[in-house]
């Protein structure tokens, strides 16, 4: 069974700052990024209580500070999600430069422009120092459909005076669930699931409970794992409606995925082959904003493509550093031509062989694990803390499937 959606959990945790009342979250993934976010919240004065292995209670009765810890912010990109709630609740915040995966330039301009439109004044001071005399609703057009930029604007706007319209909003499932969660607390958000959100500001929010959905990126990762290794895997509570484009893109590599109610099943011993476009043209796998193929699954798709007979173009449109990890796959025996930072041609199938590897980021990390599992010989993967940021107890889940994998201390 997959863990809770990391990209849903992090904004929900940040949203706990918007109310003084108790919030209970279930199916919280126990991963490094979540632990870092909880540490940031605790330093701000939020009471965090562990109710169970994946259940937390949070209550921000009184916030004791608005300056965020630089070391903790440097560990995760999602630290920026605290800005909108703190401005709405306290009227000020000091954000050190956020960290996260090094997969290319990750601009914060969308966040800043939206918050400035709502009434925030922003100074650059070894990070970002912001304050406001009061947020007011505005008609905002985001310069890109940024997920976290949209989430920050939503959280700020739900406590602003008046009505805010956010156009060109991201509408990924985790953005939708943030909106539904806030509405359950007393917010008034309309247009959920579209790229135009209307938010009527409210004076206060109440408490409530919420169960985080399964992580469709983890589900997609295990689909890729099963396909590349020829394994049979049943993934329970996979939320198939979040996997339509994932299944479509993997089908271009000959991967068959069966939907069984709320579960998905990947048959074993599939003969992977690239399915040409009409007229025999070389197909491509590319990413984009929802409902396109998730950028977080592009690294996994590259590994699956190395095991499929034929040629496919991988086009990573969102991050110029996402594909740089393919040099590690080439060292393992993959036949890949990196055309430029955004495009790679993969010719398969290729017999991979074990190698010493280093995980550069969360998604490349899981891709390298998959490559190692379908390779001959032994691989040793370093810097697995990156993988731990997004995947809970990965080696235990893989061991349960029969993988020969173990965590060793360096």
Pinpoint the residues of the chain covered by CATH 3.65.10.10: 6-211, 216-400
Confidence of residue 44 (pLDDT cuts 50, 70, 90): very high
Percentage above 70 pLDDT, the chain: 98
Within 8 A by CB and 6+ apart from 230, the residues are: 268, 269, 270, 374
What pLDDT is recorded for position 102? 44
Reported confidence tier of residue 409, pLDDT bands at 50, 70, 90 = confident
pLDDT above 90: residue 103: no
380-382/356-358 β-pairing: parallel
Question: How confident is the model at residue 106, as a pLDDT?
Answer: 58
**E strand or H helix at 237, and its extent?**
none
203 has pLDDT over 90? yes
What CATH number does the domain located at 216-400 have?
3.65.10.10
**CA angle centred on 375, ends 359 and 301, rounded to 5°:** 60
Q: Is 263 a catalytic residue?
A: no
Sign of CA dihedral 65, 70, 72, 77: positive
CA 330 to chain centre: 26
- How much of the chain, in percent, has pLDDT values that exceed 90? 92
Residue 410: which residues within 8 A CB-CB, separation 6 or more? 382
Please state the pTM of the whole predicted model. Answer: 0.94
Spatial distance between the Cα atoms of 34 and 36, rounded to a whole number of angstroms = 5
Mean pLDDT over residues 144-168, rounded?
Answer: 97
How many angstroms from the chain centroid is the CA of residue 77?
Answer: 10
Across-strand partners of 188?
Answer: 200
The C-alpha atoms of residue 152 and residue 135 are separated, in whole angstroms, by 13
Burial string for 332-363 (b: 16+ CB within 10 Å, else e) reads bbbebeeeeebbbbbbbbbebeebebebbbbb
Burial class (CB in 10 A: 0-12, 13-18, 19+), 396: exposed
pLDDT of residue 108: 86
DSSP-assigned states of every residue in 66-83: -BPPHHHHTT-GGGGGGH
**H or E stretch at 282:** none
DSSP letter string over 141-166?
A: E-SS--HHHHHHHHHHHTTSBSEEEE
Q: Are 197 and 190 in contact (CB under 8 A)?
A: yes
- Token digits for 344? 């790679």
- Supply the Cα-derived Rg of the chain in whole angstroms: 21
The DSSP code for 320 is: T
Q: What is the CATH number of domain 6-211?
A: 3.65.10.10
Q: Which residues contact 400 (CB under 8 A, 6 or more apart)?
A: none
User: Model confidence over 236-287: pLDDT tens digits?
Assistant: 999 999 999 999 999 999 999 999 999 999 999 999 999 999 999 999 999 9
Catalytic residue among 33, 47, 101, 263: 101
Stated as kind and residue range, the H or E segment containing 100 is: none
Provide the pLDDT for residue 126. Answer: 80
- In this structure, of 55-69, 95-109, 166-180, 395-409, the range with the lowest mean pLDDT score is 95-109
Evaluate whether 103 touches 325 at the Cβ level (below 8 Å): no
On whether the CB atoms of residues 325 and 387 are closer than 8 A, the answer is no
* Direct distance between the N- and C-terminal alpha carbons of the chain, in angstroms, rounded to an integer: 29
User: CA-CA distance, 315 to 35, in Å (whole number)?
Assistant: 33
What is the C-alpha to C-alpha distance for residues 228 and 221, in angstroms, rounded to an integer? 11
Check whether 383 has a pLDDT greater than 90.
yes
Q: What mean pLDDT comes out for the span 98-107?
A: 58
- Listing DSSP states for 377-393 in one string gives S--EEE-THHHHTT-TT
> How crowded is residue 5: how many other Cβ atoms within 10 Å of its Cβ?
25
Query: From the CB of residue 201, how many other CB atoms can be counted at a distance below 10 Å?
Result: 20
Q: How many residues does the chain have?
A: 410
State how far the Cα of 44 lies from the Cα of 276, in Å rounded to an integer: 54
Q: What values do phi and psi take at 293, rounded to 5? A: -65, 130
Give CA–CA dist 214/190, Å, rounded. 24
């Amino acid at each position: 069974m997959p863990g809770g959606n990391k990209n849903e959990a992090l904004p929900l945790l940040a949203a706990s700052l918007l109310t003084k009342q108790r919030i209970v979250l279930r199916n919280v993934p126990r991963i490094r990024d979540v632990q870092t976010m909880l540490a940031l919240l605790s330093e701000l004065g939020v009471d965090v209580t562990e109710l169970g292995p994946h259940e937390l209670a949070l209550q921000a009765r009184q916030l004791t500070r608005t300056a965020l810890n630089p070391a903790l912010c440097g560990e995760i990109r999602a630290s920026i999600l605290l800005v909108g709630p703190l401005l709405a609740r306290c009227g000020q915040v000091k954000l050190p430069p956020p960290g996260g995966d090094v997969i290319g330039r990750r601009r914060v301009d969308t966040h800043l422009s939206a918050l400035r439109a709502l009434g925030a004044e922003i100074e650059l001071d070894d990070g970002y120092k912001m304050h406001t005399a009061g947020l007011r609703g505005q008609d905002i057009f985001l310069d890109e459909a940024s997920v976290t930029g949209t989430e920050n604007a939503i959280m700020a706007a739900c406590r602003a005076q008046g009505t805010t319209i956010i156009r060109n909003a991201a509408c990924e499932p985790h953005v939708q669930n943030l909106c539904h969660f806030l509405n359950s607390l007393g917010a008034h958000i309309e247009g959920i699931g579209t790229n135009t959100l209307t938010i009527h500001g409210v004076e206060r929010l109440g408490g409530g409970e919420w169960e985080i959905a399964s992580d469709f990126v983890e589900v997609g990762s295990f689909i890729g794992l099963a396909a590349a290794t020829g394994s049979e895997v049943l993934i329970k509570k996979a939320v198939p409606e979040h996997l339509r484009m994932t299944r479509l893109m993997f089908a271009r590599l000959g991967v068959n995925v069966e939907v069984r109610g709320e579960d998905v099943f990947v048959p074993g011993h599939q003969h992977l082959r690239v399915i040409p476009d009409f007229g025999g043209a070389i197909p491509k796998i590319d990413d984009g904003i929802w409902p396109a193929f998730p950028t977080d699954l592009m690294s996994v798709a590259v590994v699956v493509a190395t095991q499929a007979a034929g040629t496919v173009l991988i086009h990573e449109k969102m991050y110029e550093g996402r594909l740089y990890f393919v040099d590690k796959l080439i060292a393992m025996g993959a036949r890949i031509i990196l055309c430029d930072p955004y495009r790679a041609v993969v010719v398969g199938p290729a017999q991979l062989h074990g190698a010493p590897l280093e995980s550069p980021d969360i998604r490349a990390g899981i891709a390298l694990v998959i490559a190692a599992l379908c390779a001959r010989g032994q691989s040793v993967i370093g810097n697995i803390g990156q993988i731990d940021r997004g995947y809970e107890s990965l080696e235990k889940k893989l061991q349960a499937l029969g993988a020969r994998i173990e965590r060793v201390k360096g």
